[in-house]
Amino acid sequence: MRYFIDTEFSERGPYKPIELISIALVTEGDLHYYAVSGEYTISGCNKFVRANVLPQIEHEILLPLSNIKQGILDFIGDDVPEFWGFYADYDWVVFCQIFGTMMDLPRGWPMYCRDIKQLCDDLGNPKLPPEGKGEHNALADARWNRQAYNFLKGLEKT
């Protein structure tokens, strides 16, 4: 099954790990998993994250990474996932960090995320649907990733 992934994260340069702030996985049928981490460092967030991401999660329940990991495992279950993201490189790194390293991902899961932007480029870089309300909210962005994917796959068939 395809899972459309998005994360919000804090990055602080080459000597600090990327820190997960929030994550969402959305299925083709709109089932979703969404969680906000309680383990990121607010003081390490840059101005962009403080202005665009943190206000959207200020009333959310914060979870330890171990709970987020278990939530993802429960959500995906025995499924063999196919992950898709938009400009997904950092999303994939921070996703793998939830499990420890990429080598610690569950058996049978891919060690890569497919990228909607690459699919877009392969199709001549058409204008994608507008993102709309909720940009920089992991759940809204994961849903938009699914919308963009479906739009591009529709173009691919023509």
What strands, in cross-sheet order, belong to the sheet with 82-85?
62-63, 32-37, 19-27, 2-10, 82-85, 114-115
* Spatial distance between the Cα atoms of 71 and 51, rounded to a whole number of angstroms: 28
Residue 158 has pLDDT above 80, yes or no: no
Q: Quick one: which of 40, 36, 25 has its CA closest to 63? A: 36
Residue 153 pLDDT class (50, 70, 90 cuts): very high
* Spatial distance between the Cα atoms of 11 and 17, rounded to a whole number of angstroms: 7
Helices in 27-64 by DSSP H: which ranges?
47-52, 54-57
pLDDT at 112: 97
Identify the helix (H) or strand (E) that includes residue 65: helix 65-76
Residue 17 pLDDT class (50, 70, 90 cuts): confident
Domain 2-157 has CATH 3.40.50.300: no
Residues 6+ apart with CB under 8 A from 11: 18, 19, 46, 90
Domains of the chain, by residue range, sit at: 2-157
Percent of the chain scoring above 70 in pLDDT? 99
pLDDT digits 0-9 by tens, 94-115: 999 999 999 999 999 999 999 9
pTM: 0.94
pLDDT digits 0-9 by tens, 115-147: 999 999 999 999 999 998 888 999 999 999 999
pLDDT digits 0-9 by tens, 21-76: 999 999 999 899 999 999 999 998 999 999 999 999 989 999 999 999 999 999 99
